[in-house]
Amino acid sequence: MELISYRKLRAIIARSDIVLEVVDIRNPIETRPTYIENMVSSMGRDLILVLNKCDLVPVWVSKGWARYFRSQGIKTVFVSATRGYGSKLLRRAILEMIPSRPAVLSVVGYPKVGKSSIINMLKGKESAPTSPIPGSTGYTKRAQLYKVANGIYLIDTPGLVLPRGDSVEALIRRQPVESFKDPVPVAVKLISYILKHVPTAFVEAYGIREKDPAAILEKIALRRGWIYKSTKEPNIEEAARAVIRDYHKGKIPFYVTPPE
Ligand SMILES: Nc1nc2c(ncn2[C@@H]2O[C@H](COP(=O)(O)OP(=O)(O)OP(=O)(O)O)[C@@H](O)[C@H]2O)c(=O)[nH]1
Ligand SMILES: [Mg+2]
């Protein structure tokens, strides 16, 4: 899976008047590449933080996160790129900030936060290819320029390299679901993480009341008839991949609560 190199990223930011930093509003802290903010300000560029996928969280969560980032002095807008919510506000924020036309903005963020979808929303047309899970057909492989309005150009970019270490978001966004040697420990970690924040998530998503991640995976496998032929045991690896995919697709209710 191709991500953007540090060198290319710097070159793109150098070309941009404004950088749109996109994060997944379900988990803004873990999907926020803070080093971009430092890079952008050290290069004298302006930044707008775009909290995307707000259709997946309650309104008070979106408002709480927006307040949190604004209180840190960051220009922040929350949107749903696929539903078009917040598109006017984002457009207005861009128009207020651009020095003159033509203006070039780059859209950066970790894989699958919805960078290409935001370009499509602003353009009002499906122009930039998108995809539901990391590395699947339609993910962004190289930087590309799109005209979204008269004299306003946006550069779509591949996902940023994720931090080393094993934060849940880094684990699941770093590589395609199919390429995990063993998806089970990753899914177990993801399930525990989701349950910690939304205890009813798996009841709501799958009608499964179990609280133990391994038991949840077994239930999903049995229910879908995923059984290892040799041992007749539930195929929890397949279930693990399904849970990771469903998380990417927003099928599992999940959000981190904003600080008071
Ligand atoms: N529910 C919901 N899904 C969204 C939203 N924005 C994007 N998506 C979905 O999230 C997935 C990823 O969107 P992309 O636009 O491909 O994300 P990206 O950041 O360009 O991904 P890469 O190019 O792989 O880094 C797609 O399945 C989109 O339909 C949103 O506001 N709400
Ligand atoms: Mg993309």
Tabulate helix, strand, coil % of the chain (nearest 5).
40, 15, 45
Distance CA 67, CA 61 (A): 10
- Please name the residue whose Cα sits nearest to atom 21 of ligand 1: 112
What domains lie within the chain, and their CATH numbers? 6-156 (3.40.50.300), 180-248 (no CATH)
**Which tokens go with 231?**
């041992």
Provide the pairing of β-strand 103-108 with 152-156: parallel
Kindly report the backbone phi and psi dihedral angles of residue 84, in degrees, each rounded to the nearest multiple of 5, phi listed first: 85, 5
Nearest CA to ligand 1 atom 30: 53
Let me know the angle formed at the C-alpha of 87 by 85 and 89, rounded to the nearest 5 degrees.
110
Q: What is the pLDDT of residue 106?
A: 98
Q: Identify residues whose C-beta is under 5 A from ligand 2, the ion.
A: 115-116, 140
Give pLDDT, residue 256.
98
Q: Is the distance from CB of 38 to CB of 8 less than 8 angstroms?
A: no
> Residue 85: its pLDDT value, please?
98
What's residue 166's pLDDT? Answer: 83
Write down the pLDDT at residue 165. 84
Question: How many A from CA of 228 to the centre of ligand 1?
Answer: 33
CA torsion through residues 118, 201, 191, 229, sign: negative
* pTM score of the predicted model: 0.97
Q: What is the pLDDT of residue 260?
A: 81
pLDDT score recorded for residue 190: 98
Burial (0-12, 13-18, 19+ Cβ within 10 Å), 88: exposed
Report which bound ligand comes closest to the CA of 109.
1
Give 10-residue mean pLDDT values along the chain (260 residues): 95 98 98 96 97 98 98 97 98 96 98 98 97 97 97 98 92 96 97 98 97 98 95 96 98 96
- To test ligand 1's pocket by mutation, which of 31, 78, 82 has the most ligand atoms within 8 angstroms of CB? 82
Going from the Cα of 231 to the center of ligand 2, the distance in angstroms, rounded, reads 41
